[in-house]
Structure 1
Amino acid sequence: MKASSMDTHMGNIAIDNEVIAQYAGSVAMECFGIVGMASVNMKDGLVKLLKMDSMTRGIKVTLDNNKLILDFHVIVSYGVSILAVSDNLLSNVKYKVEEFTGIEIEKINIFVEGVRVID
């Protein structure tokens, strides 16, 4: 189990990285312009839209010097400003994940893997 942990006056708190990824993914899906998380097949170079139950595969969580680094691989909606979507994603995820975990976020990397037309 890879976990992010912090020491408190009452003891140690360990949060599994999968839990952080699930929460960050659900926050990201609330953001305007995000269609979903992406999975990249390195062998073929194909990008696949992940279903809601496996969206954590599009998010990488690492802990460095007691600060979180989040990598998002996303697919955005066609016709929206990627800059505006990214800014919205950064601010929402930073605020909500820091409040949820109590761990400071050092960096959020966003990799736009594709664009989809929404019906």
Structure 2
Amino acid sequence: MAEKARLEGHAKPVQPPQRPPAARADEAVDQLYVTDEALATLIGLAAHEVPGVIGMAPANLREGVRRILGKQQADEGVEVTRPAKAAKGAAKGQGAGVAVTLHVAVAYGVNIPAVAESVKERVLYAAAAFAGVAVDRVKVHVVGVGRAGR
């Protein structure tokens, strides 16, 4: 009995597991975030599916060096820019999406404006359908023309 009394005096109550701190009012709970790299890869793969696109060109010096070293990746030629915080007075939903710039090479003999428009439509669809990301602007730079399969 004395042993039981001694243990009861020193026993610590069992604490329930701690919950993570509550999200601030400006943070969404259970939010999915797609990184710029993942989105660029998704967009690059979607652009490659457009008939008439034979490749992507490096969008910057880093990608150029990567290509020289033989480390070409699916996101090559794709730049994703997220906007700064929404401007004051902007309507809700305006300016909330990303801007995408693509540098593509097209096949000789294709209608370049039609291929560029198809790339734009494919990018808008892929970003929304596969990643749930709104794209505000798509710029397609045709930086090369070549023969398909070479």
**Which runs of no fewer than 5 residues in structure 1 stay unpaired?**
1-6, 43-47
Q: Structure 1 17/86 Cα, relative in aligned 2: closer, same or farther at 3 Å?
A: same
C-alpha distance in 2, partners of 1:27/1:106?
A: 17
C-alpha distance in 2, partners of 1:41/1:102?
A: 27
Q: Could you tell me which of 77, 81, 106 is aligned with 1:76?
A: 106
* TM-score (normalised: structure 2): 0.62
Q: Structure 1 94/41 Cα, relative in aligned 2: closer, same or farther at 3 Å?
A: closer
Per-residue CA deviation, residues 50-104 of structure 1 (Å, 9 max, x unaligned), is x894241310011124311110000000000001101111111111211122121
Q: 2:126 matched to 1:107?
A: no
C-alpha distance in 1, partners of 2:50/2:71?
A: 15
Partner of residue 26, structure 1: 45
C-alpha distance in 1, partners of 2:124/2:73?
A: 22
RMSD, matched Cα: 2.3
Q: Size of the alignment, in residue pairs?
A: 105
**Which runs of no fewer than 5 residues in structure 2 stay unpaired?**
1-26, 62-66, 84-94
Within 5 Å, give how 1:1-119 maps onto structure 2.
Answer: 8=28, 10-39=29-58, 53-64=72-83, 65-119=95-149
C-alpha distance in 2, partners of 1:25/1:117?
A: 20
* TM-score (normalised: structure 1): 0.77
Q: Secondary structure at the match of 2:139?
A: strand
Percentage of pairs with the same residue: 28
| 1:67 partner letter | G
Larger Rg, first or second structure (1 or 2): 2
C-alpha distance in 1, partners of 2:122/2:112?
A: 15
C-alpha distance in 2, partners of 1:67/1:28?
A: 19
Partner of residue 3, structure 1: none
